[in-house]
Structure 1
Amino acid sequence: MINRKNVAKVAGFGAAATVALGLLSTGAANADTFVPLPGGEIVKTLSDGTVVTVRLTGESANISPSMGATPVHRNAWVSGSASATISDGSSAAGGKIFPGYTVGCQVNIAGGGVNGGAGGTVDYSNGQNVKPNVSANTGGNLSLGPGQAKSFYVLDQETADDYGQESHKKRNRFKGNSGSVTWADETIGLSGCGGYAQARAFVSVEVETANVITWVTLWGQPFSLG
């Protein structure tokens, strides 16, 4: 004789196991994706003979399912280190390091130029002597439509100005011939982009010597936000 209570218990266990497996599968599909990035290096000789070396090292991105849980949302946490070295045979006055990211929605940010309706113009010019036109505030919570790009700086250093008021700086200033800065788990939160999205790190360095004040920019490798 079949015990219907036992059958019900077995069936119930099977259903619960199916639900559990379904949840596990969903979690696996939505797991974070760690993307190691190669960083880079650029060496530029200035008009007065000064040699500037800019490096991007330890670069990575952790792509995460968006809390918005819709195709128009993206989340990523990015990390890296930037350094600058000035070699001119004498003591350099120093410089400023501006690390940041350019994010694009359905636009190629791998080369040439990016004309972003939301973020001004990024002219790569072979990666040298370029200061990105950054129109976003510090922080990577961006809203972009198709064909738009925006750049932002990752640093937000709070200091007092000459009048004692709160001031925010987007650079790390150094004196002498070298300086560096590191950032970890900076957020890129993108909304409004229904197509493919990419991001790309940049490190802009303002160099100051006895004879020259100029910019040198290093671009990292583009990576997909999904």
Structure 2
Amino acid sequence: MINRNKLVRLAGVGAAATLALGLFSTGAAHADTFVPLPGGELVKTLSDGTVVTVRMVGESATISPSMGATPVHRNAWVSGSAQVEIAGGEDVGGKIYPGYVVGCQVNIAGGGAEGGASADMDTEGNVSPSAETGANLTIGPGQAKSFYVLDIEKPDDYGDEDHATNNSFGGNTGSVTWSDQTIGLNGCGGYAQARSFISVEVETENVISYVTLWGQPFSLG
């Protein structure tokens, strides 16, 4: 005897499988891609013996199809947390400058950009951003730009509007966390990459120094 209930169930499984294949072949190609990143840690001893530890934790990127829907447009949302610990010093404090370098058809694996492009990084690894925000970057082949994540509005010494790209802290610890910071890239017809950095200015009683930690490069497509 034919079990009609069993046939109905099997037919339903087949339809679900067909639907799943359809999603993988069409919609999945346009879905967001979540990329977990390993973060990192850097320990540096300053000239006066102060030990600075910089960590990137909880780092990730979500790569999304661009609203432009063309090969020269990319969109990504990035998140992470910068943490700083200082040991062996007194009257310490500092500033945390988190940011990203974005490159088009260049190698940014070395911490700036190689192959003829410049990410505005000096010989000590300190970054001078070439763009104010990652919300809308225009980069051609062989180029790279860097930007800070933070834009904190506050009055200056004269009461006028000022914008800070760092999070200041006093004492031996400091941190800053960002979520879904936009990276919008235009004009890059080839492969594109991005890489986070945390530049920390540390001030003790005896020295002022910069420590820069670089994250792992990731593809923007």
Q: Give the TM interval when normalised to the shorter protein.
A: 0.7 to 0.9
Distance 1:119 1:111, change over 3 A: closer
Conserved 8 A contact 2:111-2:214: no
Matched, 1:212 2:207: yes
- What CA distance in whole angstroms lies between the structure 2 residues aligned with 1:120 and 1:206? 19
Match for 2:34: what amino acid? F
User: Gapped runs of 5+ residues in structure 1?
Assistant: 1-17
- What CA distance in whole angstroms lies between the structure 1 residues aligned with 2:47 and 2:116? 34
> Under a length normalisation based on structure 2, what TM-score does the superposition of the two structures give?
0.85
2:95 maps to 96
Q: Secondary structure of 1:195's partner?
A: coil
User: Gapped runs of 5+ residues in structure 2?
Assistant: 1-17
Match for 1:32: what amino acid? D
Aligned residue runs from structure 1 range 13-28, under 5 A: 25-28=25-28
Q: Aligned-pair distance for 1:22?
A: 6.6
- What CA distance in whole angstroms lies between the structure 1 residues aligned with 2:32 and 2:46? 42
Q: Secondary structure of 1:114's partner?
A: coil
- What CA distance in whole angstroms lies between the structure 2 residues aligned with 1:112 and 1:180? 22
2:104 maps to 105
- What CA distance in whole angstroms lies between the structure 2 residues aligned with 1:42 and 1:100? 16
1:151 maps to 146
Conserved 8 A contact 2:42-2:53: yes
1:168 maps to 163
> Under a length normalisation based on structure 1, what TM-score does the superposition of the two structures give?
0.83
Alignment RMSD (CA, Å): 2.3
Aligned residue runs from structure 1 range 25-104, under 5 A: 25-88=25-88, 90-104=89-103
1:3 maps to none
Count of residues in correspondence between the two structures: 204
Match for 1:49: what amino acid? G
Distance 1:185 1:113, change over 3 A: closer
Q: Aligned-pair distance for 1:29?
A: 1.2
